[in-house]
Amino acid sequence: MISGDFLSAGTLMEKSYFDVEPVSRRVKVYDLPDDVSGFIKELTQAAYKKDCDKLIFYVKTGSKEEADLQAHSCKIEGEIKGFFRGDDTRVYAKYLNPAREKKKEGNVIDYVKQLNHTSTAKTKKLMDGYTMKWGREENAEEMAELYQTAFAKYPTPIHNPDYIVDMMKDHVHFALIFKGEKLVSACSADVFPEYKAAEFTDCATLPEHRGKGLLSHQYPFLEDKAKELGIHTMFSYTRATSMGMNIVAAQQGFTYGGCMIQNSWIGTGLEDMNIWYKIL
């Protein structure tokens, strides 16, 4: 989602790959040009104009870019091993507003780490009456309704059926679960083909169908698809206060990679997000 307004800010920005996400007031940068200092200056000026006060950078561990970011007061928030075609990656952040740098209370990660995680999702069948299938364009309307019910606010316009269709056309695969004919749960694998990585994201289950282990079936379903596509690493960002999502990630063999502070506007405000990753 590269913004033309941002690109017009300077020529260095045209040499980078980045996503502008105005709902969460953030910019995620995946490729840096050689002139990191000039780029950060251009990016900061453009971000201020668009009310984005967090800059996020993904860089290979031990690279020159990593040292450059440290020199510009960027702080490490976590890691995703194998993100760049098998190369380990560190995630840095630069805060343009000091208030955004404060961690929220209620991160469940210490408790989750203490649990004995065992997944049996691949050996158990879905409960009677539930079926799982791949999301298709004809499901976009009911998917949008599901997301609208689950999230009053979301970092991307997932409430819009047209946006969901565009996602399906752009390397995003959805795993849907139905109870009878009714869609009750959805999640996706957002593939980064240039990096051989995929994000497990867009997870939503209707309240009355939670606690039935549905995500524990969708995770391996999408993981198998990722393997078919030659993906090296899967990763996920889970709400730091969500016991269920963090437990499912741990149960599925993901490794905790750190906490991104006030990272995503989801539900009622900006929330801390835990990083999880898994080498396939």
Of the candidates 239, 267, 260, 238, the one whose C-alpha atom is nearest the C-alpha of residue 91 is 260
Helix pair 161-168, 140-150: axis angle to 10 deg: 120
> Cα–chain-centroid distance for residue 81?
15
In tens, the pLDDT along 35-94 reads: 999 999 999 988 998 899 999 999 999 999 999 999 999 999 999 999 999 999 999 999
What's the distance, Cα to Cα, between the start and end of the chain in Å?
27
Tell me the β-bridge partners of 271. Answer: 264
Among residues of the chain, what percentage have pLDDT more than 90?
79
Instruction: Please enumerate in sequence order all residues whose Cβ is within 8 A of that of 37, keeping only pairs 6 or more positions apart, or say none.
Output: 68, 72
Where is mean pLDDT largest: 7-11, 48-52, 200-204? 200-204
In tens, the pLDDT along 74-84 reads: 999 999 999 99
What pLDDT score was predicted for residue 1?
A: 44
What pLDDT score was predicted for residue 14?
A: 66
* Cα separations in angstroms, 262 against 42, 47, 74, 192, 243: 23, 17, 15, 24, 18
Side-chain-side CA neighbours of 3 within 13 Å: the count stands at 18
Average pLDDT over the chain, rounded to an integer:
91
What pLDDT score was predicted for residue 69?
A: 96
What CA–CA distance (Å, rounded) separates 91 from 152?
28
Pairing of strands 87-95, 75-84: antiparallel
Side-chain-side CA neighbours of 67 within 13 Å: the count stands at 4
Within the chain, all domains assigned CATH 3.40.630.30 are found at 4-101, 109-279
What CA–CA distance (Å, rounded) separates 126 from 133?
12
Tell me the β-bridge partners of 92. Answer: 57, 76
Beta sheet of 17-21, edge-to-edge order: 17-21, 26-31, 54-60, 87-95, 75-84, 255-266, 269-279, 233-239, 197-205, 182-192, 172-179, 130-134
Side-chain-side CA neighbours of 212 within 13 Å: the count stands at 20
Q: Comparing 18 with 264, which gets the higher pLDDT? A: 264
C-beta separation of 199 from 254 below 8 A: no
What CA–CA distance (Å, rounded) separates 147 from 73?
37
Here the tokens at position 137 are 């364009």
What pLDDT score was predicted for residue 267?
A: 73
Alpha carbon dihedral 22, 83, 229, 141, in 10-degree steps, equals -20
In tens, the pLDDT along 232-280 reads: 999 999 999 999 999 999 999 999 999 999 999 987 789 999 999 999 9
pTM of the model: 0.92
Average pLDDT over every residue of 88-115: 95
**Which pLDDT band, with edges at 50, 70 and 90, does 4 fall under?**
very low
In tens, the pLDDT along 114-170 reads: 987 766 555 578 999 999 999 999 999 999 999 999 988 888 899 999 999 999 999
Statement: 4-101 belongs to CATH 3.40.630.30: yes
Q: CA-based angle 46:50:52, to the nearest 5?
A: 90
Here the tokens at position 95 are 């805060």
Q: Is the pLDDT of residue 110 over 90?
A: yes
- The class level of CATH for 109-279 reads alpha beta
**Which pLDDT band, with edges at 50, 70 and 90, does 10 fall under?**
low
